[in-house]
Structure formats: structure tokens, C-alpha cells
Amino acid sequence: MKTKLLFLFLFAVLLANLAYAECEIYFFYSETCPYCSKEEIFLDEIETKYPDLNIIRVDVSQNCLFLGRVGY
């Protein structure tokens, strides 16, 4: 019984911490990609809805050095 209560307590603490954790989204895009422009609109909407959301935008056509570091 004590083990179950301890598990439930730890699970509740974990859920409480996840609710307040910041979230990062890495958005790799190109200005010439039509799908990317639609995704940009969607990300702008959810960014205003969720203030703890941090969207990191990387233009793949302008960041050749970054792409070399990640293996592209």
C-alpha cells in the first residue's frame, strides 16, 4: 500500500513539473517552400496561444554553416 501511495505521489509531482516546463520547437524552413509558409502561420498561432512555447526558426537556405554541423 505504501509503495502505491509513493508511486502516485511521485507521478503527481512529475505531472505538475511537466505542466510548467518550457517547450522548444525547432522549425527548419525555406522561404521558397509552400509547405513551410503554411506551417509558419500555424506556428505563429500556437506561439500566441502558448506563451511558454519557444519556437526556434532556422532558414536552411541561409544557414549553411549550421547545416554542415548537423550533417547535411
Give the long-range contacts of residues 4-11, CB within 8 A, separation 24 or more. Answer: none
Q: Answer yes or no: is 15 within a domain.
A: no
Domain that holds residue 27: 22-72
Secondary element (H or E) of residue 13: helix 2-19
Domain count, the chain: 1
Report pLDDT for 69: 62
Please name the amino acid found at residue 13. V
> What CATH number does residue 46 fall under?
3.40.30.10
Q: Cell numbers 512555447 label which residue?
A: 53
Report pLDDT for 44: 92
Q: Answer yes or no: is 9 within a domain.
A: no
Report pLDDT for 19: 56
Report pLDDT for 23: 81
List the grid coordinates of 4: 502505491
Weakly modelled stretches of the chain, pLDDT under 70: 1-21, 63-72
